[in-house]
Amino acid sequence: MKTIFALSVLILMASLDTIGQKTLREATKGEFLFGVAVNMKQVNGVNPIETELITKEFSAIVPENIMKPQPIHPEENKYKWDDADKFVAFGEKNNLTVTGHCLIWHSQIGKWFFVDENGKDVSPEILKERMRQHINAVVSRYKGRIKGWDVVNEAFEDNGTYRKSKFYQILGKDFIKYAFQFAHEADPNAELYYNDYNVETPAKCDAIVQLVKELKADGCRIDAVGSQAHMHMNSPTLDATETSFKKLKTAGIHILITEWDISILPSPYDGANVSANFDYSREMDPYREGVPEAVQQQWNKRMLDMFGLFLKYSDVIDRVTVWGLTDNGTWLNNFPIRGRKDYPVLFDRNNQRKSVVDGMIKMAENYKSKK
């Protein structure tokens, strides 16, 4: 009797373990890559649990900050490759598809990029040449090892006009075309993407569709549009998100969900412009001590609604990447208010997998079985 009981317990434990072993990496296989943004602590294995979660649960990685212009190219003739080299090697070693983020962005870029020795704006020719050198150095260093690059990040305002960045002020909208040309020259086989937030905003989505058409008409390679998908509990709506997918799909454009997270916190702002900043107050940080079960369930539903939509459009969505591994490390704890505690990604403050992951796995498996 005792033996039968012990045997049943063992079988139960083994089957529970098997359920626990299922990963989003496996469940989404064949539909889209399932990625995560990582930082150097994770690449270096500072907390081995985090590193293991990345290599086990995901099929793709993107560097949250490592490859941006500021850290990789802090001064005109100085490149810092150590972290980026380790990041790419980490992806290869663990059989993770590696995406580069990002070549040209108005943020996290050294001021030197735009000025001469007197601090005056450089000429269009000099800025174009600096762009060429930067893009060529970074892309050619990892040639053949990176599947694709976010070539230009966030060139539009939400109303669909061009952001008046230094790139735009000095070179006009052609800076985007140049960036795509330089990236393609440096690695002709790499995929090239345009990436932005609030792509669900109709005017912005229209502007992006128009940009892709213009780039293609100019003979540029562009493989997909990255929709960052930094979301809140009420915005964007599911309808607005689907409308943006439909618009891109109808225009023959592939989509990447590049920076997915759903903030649970009240927000004075619904963009992802990193310069936005508001004062801390306790009432704007309601889940410091924990997230009540009912609120977790609302968040789960919102995540599953969106994930269902990603699956529905998986014929044109090539990758879904979550922006950060755990609630401890999320950028949203410091944006747009510093020092809060958010709940936007798939692993919680104790590195535990949230219940929503099982829901996503079931949804993906169900979707595949009905195809």
- From residue 51 to residue 80, what is the string marking binding to ligand G3I with x (rule CB under 6 A)? -------------xx---------------
Residues 290-329 that bind ligand G3I (CB under 6 A): none
Closest CB to ligand G3I belongs to which residue?
331
Token pair in block for residue 102? 């990002």
Select from 186, 212, 256, 272 the one that contacts ligand G3I (CB under 6 A): 272
- From residue 216 to residue 245, what is the string marking binding to ligand G3I with x (rule CB under 6 A)? ------------x-----------------
CA distances from 27 to 2, 167, 291, 360, 365 (A): 37, 41, 27, 8, 6
When the beta carbons of 53 and 272 are compared against ligand G3I, the nearer one is 272
When the beta carbons of 137 and 274 are compared against ligand G3I, the nearer one is 274
Catalytic residue positions, numbered = 154, 259
| Of the candidates 42, 19, 13, 93, the residue with the CA atom closest to the CA atom of residue 353 | 19
Least distance from C-beta 306 to ligand G3I, angstroms?
18
The amino acid sitting at 69 is P
CA distances from 151 to 73, 224, 343, 351 (A): 16, 11, 29, 32
When the beta carbons of 41 and 246 are compared against ligand G3I, the nearer one is 41
Cα–Cα distance, 125 to 362 (Å, whole number):
54
Burial class, 318, CB count within 10 angstroms (exposed 0-12 / middle 13-18 / buried 19+): buried
- Binding to ligand G3I by residue 276, rule CB under 6 A? no
Least distance from C-beta 14 to ligand G3I, angstroms?
39
Cα–Cα distance, 23 to 35 (Å, whole number):
12
Cα–Cα distance, 273 to 214 (Å, whole number):
25
Select from 47, 55, 107, 351 the one that contacts ligand G3I (CB under 6 A): 107
Interface ranges with ligand G3I (CB under 6 A): 64-65, 107-108, 153, 197, 228, 259, 272, 274, 331
